[in-house]
């Protein structure tokens, strides 16, 4: 028998041989542990979720539980508003601004503002932290935040509100070959080059891809570009048969990928694998001088604020009509009118959500919007009133600081000229209009140009406020005036 | 034996006591069942002692969204603070009239006006004033401007005005006009000019 003969053999070993075998075993075990440790450390980077919102861009670690990706809900909401949570037994109660949520450990459903929400997986509580499945965010967050979100689950990217930066790519010449990328907001990617490709990695910007992930250009030198997303970043890879380099222009809104026939000081030539620093760290290009500091992070030219919302109904216009509902409809109409004129627009409240006035101003200020437009509706009076902030005379700013209550001070002249332009455009369309100052928050808290537009019916029928024709008549006039003031507003602080 | 006249007197007294009891019971029932027509909740104040003066009330008009100065003759006390209160009471009585061009809700009151040196006036209105106020940027703006302009034009030396509701700070009057900050009188004066007819 094999087993018995082996024992017999081992019993025949000398003590020195046994010692040698023991040492070998020890070394083998150590090597095995070392290999396992190396394998585990090389298992890939920690997965995380990149979050892009008007208020802040940040990333959170993703936790693997039961074969799913989970994320801490409190940590996710913290940068977006006032949030707190408390545990009561198996219940985890969330409060975000004025909204309440009730989650229960082990349950797949939760209650948000007294409405059921399906989480698509169990809610987990760990050390008083509330963890929700990553996939549940696409249905859960719109209820909590009151606006749309876009979850790219596989790539670990979450876009809150209309923050996405879109781009187009077009070939501008073939000798030398020039591929021009236009972005809807300033970008600052990390650029890496290697033989046959230039890769732009957008980890800080909410860049989203075109309809087709691969773009072809019919050029031998730069035949195509492709878009992909992974682990919280978007990557645009330009394939090329010649060495290429990238230059930045238009305050970070344009990236030009050029073949070697052209040279630029701040380019990253391909040929040997290199990684270029983001544009802000480079010298300005010779052709389009860029500022030494990073470009202003303006994502939207216009911020349209549908006033009121949630518990704040605004005026009860009729038995079945609330001001908060009319302002949302007006905001959507104005967004459409502005975007049709090439003006990037963010609607602050696109659903029936509570949004404190302070937070509305924070959103507008954080985005450095060129114009903030608050929308109101009223049953009294006729036509439209255009308001600018009522501010105390004199400037009470203290050195480098700005008073929150008079933050509008520096931009007030531009706000007033914009209000005049809007009023004049409304007059052209035979709509009765008045321009006034008003003690209306958050106009005084917005640092950039800011106006409020209060829409009343032209006659005595308050239902005209819901008529799409009337809404479009007003919003198209406002949009035309904003488009006409674009150059003036574009240079605003 | 009890004398006859004492028995008669006792009987009359008992009959009178019974009759009064029945009458008191009847009156009590009538008092509890008869509804009170209306309760005037305004604070009782002694009649104003002082000469009649011509003052200017800045009255809001909803029909065209304007603020118009209207002169009135009212008896004015000598104290500065009492004068300010009396001005606003006169304005309020204008607005509580159903034929007013800018009607305020029933039960609206000016609780007090405090003049705090240097140059700060605090107007304290009751909760009904704000709770029953119509909502809207212009309609609220008209009320606020009317109050402030009436006090400050007739009471020189006021630079800033704060409006409280039931002694407490409130964010807005009825969803629009900001009550969280102090009003700069010069800025309100500019607004009052913009709100004048023909502007």
What are the boundaries of each domain within chain A?
48-160, 167-281, 302-490
Closest chain B C-alpha to A173 CA, distance in angstroms: 55
The pLDDT value given to residue A58: 84
- The answer on B59 and B27 residing in a single domain is no
Q: Between chains, do A385 and B180 touch, taking CB under 8 Å as contact? A: no
Q: Between chains, do A314 and B137 touch, taking CB under 8 Å as contact? A: no
Report the CATH architecture of A48-160.
Answer: 2-Layer Sandwich (3.30)
Closest chain B C-alpha to A75 CA, distance in angstroms: 30
- The answer on B56 and B24 residing in a single domain is no
The pLDDT value given to residue B36: 57
- The answer on B76 and B17 residing in a single domain is no
Which three-class secondary structure state does DSSP give residue B46?
Answer: coil
Enclosing domain of residue B174: 52-194
Q: Between chains, do B138 and A378 touch, taking CB under 8 Å as contact? A: yes
Residue B110: pLDDT band (50, 70, 90) is very high
pLDDT tens digit sequence for A404-441? 888 898 899 999 999 999 999 999 999 999 999 999 99
- Fold observed for domain A167-281: Immunoglobulin-like (2.60.40)
Kindly give the residue spans of alpha helices, DSSP state H, lying in B108-159.
Answer: 127-131, 137-154
Report the CATH architecture of A302-490.
Answer: 3-Layer(aba) Sandwich (3.40)
Name the least confident of A256-260, A322-326, A477-481, B9-13: A256-260
Examine the pLDDT at A146 and tell me if it is beyond 70: yes
pLDDT tens digit sequence for A320-379? 899 999 999 999 999 999 999 888 888 888 777 778 888 888 888 887 889 999 999 999
Question: Is the pTM of the predicted complex or chain greater than 0.80?
Answer: no
Closest chain A C-alpha to B74 CA, distance in angstroms: 31
Q: Between chains, do B184 and A391 touch, taking CB under 8 Å as contact? A: yes
- The answer on B157 and B81 residing in a single domain is yes
User: What is the spatial distance between Cα A99 and Cα A80, in angstroms, rounded to a whole number?
Assistant: 13
User: What is the spatial distance between Cα B128 and Cα B125, in angstroms, rounded to a whole number?
Assistant: 8
Examine the pLDDT at A37 and tell me if it is beyond 60: no
Instruction: Kindly state whether residue B183 falls inside one of the protein's structural domains.
Output: yes
Examine the pLDDT at B34 and tell me if it is beyond 80: no
User: What is the spatial distance between Cα B11 and Cα A198, in angstroms, rounded to a whole number?
Assistant: 123
**Chain A residues lying within 8 Å of B136, measured CB to CB:** 315, 376, 378-381, 454
User: Which among B135, B141, B178 is the nearest to A441, CB-wise?
Assistant: B178
% of chain B exceeding 90 in pLDDT: 66
Q: Which two tokens stand for residue A209?
A: 């891809």
Examine the pLDDT at A292 and tell me if it is beyond 60: no
Question: Helix, strand, coil proportions of chain B in percent (round to 5)?
Answer: 40, 25, 35
Instruction: Kindly state whether residue B181 falls inside one of the protein's structural domains.
Output: yes
Which three-class secondary structure state does DSSP give residue B8?
Answer: helix
Q: Between chains, do A380 and B180 touch, taking CB under 8 Å as contact? A: no
**Chain A residues lying within 8 Å of B175, measured CB to CB:** 308, 312-315
Closest chain B C-alpha to A403 CA, distance in angstroms: 12
Q: Between chains, do B65 and A392 touch, taking CB under 8 Å as contact? A: no
Instruction: Kindly state whether residue B46 falls inside one of the protein's structural domains.
Output: no
- The answer on B128 and B187 residing in a single domain is yes
The pLDDT value given to residue A177: 79
**Chain B residues lying within 8 Å of A404, measured CB to CB:** none
Instruction: Kindly state whether residue B79 falls inside one of the protein's structural domains.
Output: yes
Q: Between chains, do A378 and B141 touch, taking CB under 8 Å as contact? A: no
User: What is the spatial distance between Cα A151 and Cα A156, in angstroms, rounded to a whole number?
Assistant: 8
Q: Between chains, do B175 and A314 touch, taking CB under 8 Å as contact? A: yes
The pLDDT value given to residue A22: 57
Beta strands across the sheet bearing B183-184: B110-116, B120-125, B160-165, B183-184
Q: Between chains, do A379 and B136 touch, taking CB under 8 Å as contact? A: yes
Closest chain B C-alpha to A94 CA, distance in angstroms: 25
**Chain B residues lying within 8 Å of A393, measured CB to CB:** 184, 186-187
Overall average pLDDT of the A202-225 stretch:
82
Beta strands across the sheet bearing A63-65: A63-65, A68-72, A129-133, A124-126
* Average pLDDT score, chain A: 79
The pLDDT value given to residue A83: 85
The pLDDT value given to residue B151: 92
Overall average pLDDT of the A456-466 stretch:
90
Q: Between chains, do A390 and B187 touch, taking CB under 8 Å as contact? A: yes
> Taking CB atoms and an 8 Å cut-off, how many pairs form between chains A and B?
83
Instruction: Kindly state whether residue B39 falls inside one of the protein's structural domains.
Output: no
Closest chain A C-alpha to B143 CA, distance in angstroms: 12
Instruction: Please say whether the dihedral angle defined by the alpha carbons of residues B93, B96, B100 and B102, taken in this order, is positive or negative.
Output: positive
User: Which among A357, A380, A391 is the nearest to B62, CB-wise?
Assistant: A380
Do the domains spanning A48-160 and A167-281 agree at the CATH topology level? no
Give the count of alpha carbons within 13 A of B22, CB side only. 6
Q: How many residues does chain A have?
A: 493
Number of domains, chain B: 2
Interface test with B, best of A439, A441, A462, A465 (most B CBs within 10 A): A439
Interface of A with B (CB under 8 A): 308, 312-316, 323, 357, 376, 378-381, 385, 387, 390-393, 405, 434, 436-441, 444, 452, 454
């Amino acid at each position: 028998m094999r087993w018995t003969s082996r024992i017999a053999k081992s019993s025949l070993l000398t003590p020195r041989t046994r010692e040698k075998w023991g040492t070998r075993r020890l070394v083998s075990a150590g090597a095995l542990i070392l290999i396992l440790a190396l394998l585990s450390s090389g298992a890939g980077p920690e997965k995380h979720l990149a979050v892009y919102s008007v208020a802040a861009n940040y990333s959170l670690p993703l936790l693997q539980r039961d074969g799913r990706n989970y994320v801490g809900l409190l940590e996710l909401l913290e940068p977006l508003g006032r949030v707190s949570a408390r545990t009561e037994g198996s219940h985890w109660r969330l409060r975000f601004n004025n909204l309440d949520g009730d989650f229960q450990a082990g349950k797949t459903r939760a209650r948000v503002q007294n409405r059921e929400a399906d989480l698509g997986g169990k809610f987990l509580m760990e050390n008083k932290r509330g963890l929700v499945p990553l996939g549940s965010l696409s249905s859960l967050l719109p209820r909590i935040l009151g606006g749309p979100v876009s979850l790219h689950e596989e790539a670990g990217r979450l876009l809150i509100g209309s923050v996405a930066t879109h781009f187009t790519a077009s070939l501008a010449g073939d000798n030398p070959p020039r591929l021009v990328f236009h972005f809807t907001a300033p970008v600052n990617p990390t650029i890496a080059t290697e033989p046959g490709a230039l890769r732009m990695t957008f980890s800080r910007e909410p860049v989203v891809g075109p309809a087709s992930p691969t773009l072809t250009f019919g050029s031998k030198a730069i035949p195509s570009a492709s878009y992909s997303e992974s682990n919280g970043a978007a990557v645009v890879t330009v394939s090329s048969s010649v060495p290429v380099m990238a230059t930045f222009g238009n305050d970070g809104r344009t990236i030009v990928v050029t073949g070697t026939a052209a040279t630029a000081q701040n380019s990253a030539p391909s040929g040997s694998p290199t990684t270029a620093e983001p544009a802000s760290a480079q010298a300005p290009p010779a052709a389009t001088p860029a500022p030494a500091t990073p470009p202003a992070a303006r994502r939207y030219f216009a911020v349209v604020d549908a006033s009121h919302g949630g518990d704040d109904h605004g005026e009860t216009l009729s038995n079945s009509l609330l001001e908060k509902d009319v302002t949302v409809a007006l905001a959507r109409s104005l967004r459409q009118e502005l975007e049709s004129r090439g003006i990037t627009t963010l609607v602050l409240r696109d659903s029936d959500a509570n949004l404190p006035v302070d937070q509305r101003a924070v959103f507008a200020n954080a985005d450095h919007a060129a114009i903030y437009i608050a929308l109101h509706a009223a049953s009294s009076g006729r036509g439209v009133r255009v308001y600018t902030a009522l501010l105390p005379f004199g400037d009470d700013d203290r050195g480098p600081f700005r008073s929150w209550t008079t933050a509008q001070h520096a931009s007030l002249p531009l706000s007033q000229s914009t209000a005049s332009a809007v009023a004049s455009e409304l007059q052209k369309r035979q709509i009765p209009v008045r321009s006034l100052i008003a003690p209306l928050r958050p106009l005084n808290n917005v640092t950039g140009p800011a106006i409020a537009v209060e829409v009343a019916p032209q006659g005595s029928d308050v239902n005209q406020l819901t008529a799409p024709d009337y809404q479009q008549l007003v919003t198209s006039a406002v949009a035309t005036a904003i488009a006409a003031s674009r150059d003036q507003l574009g240079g605003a602080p | 034996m009890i004398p006859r006249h004492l028995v008669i007197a006792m009987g009359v007294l008992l009959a009178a006591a019974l009759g009064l009891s029945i009458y008191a019971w009847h009156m009590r029932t009538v008092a509890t069942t008869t509804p009170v027509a209306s309760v005037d909740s305004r604070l009782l104040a002694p009649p104003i002692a002082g000469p009649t003066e011509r003052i200017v009330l800045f009255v809001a008009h909803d029909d065209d969204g304007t603020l118009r100065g209207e002169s009135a003759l009212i008896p004015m006390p000598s104290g500065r603070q009492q004068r300010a209160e009396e001005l606003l009471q006169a304005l309020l009585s204008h607005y509580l009239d159903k034929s007013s061009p800018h009607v305020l809700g029933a039960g609206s009151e000016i609780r007090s006006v405090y003049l705090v040196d240097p140059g700060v006036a605090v107007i304290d209105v009751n909760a009904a004033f704000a709770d029953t106020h119509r909502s809207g940027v212009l309609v609220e703006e008209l009320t606020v401007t009317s109050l402030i302009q009436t006090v400050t034009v007739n009471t020189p030396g006021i630079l800033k005005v704060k409006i409280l509701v039931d002694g407490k700070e409130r964010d807005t009057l009825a969803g629009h006009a900001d009550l969280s900050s102090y009003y700069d009188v010069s800025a309100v004066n500019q607004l009052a000019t913009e709100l004048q007819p023909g502007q």
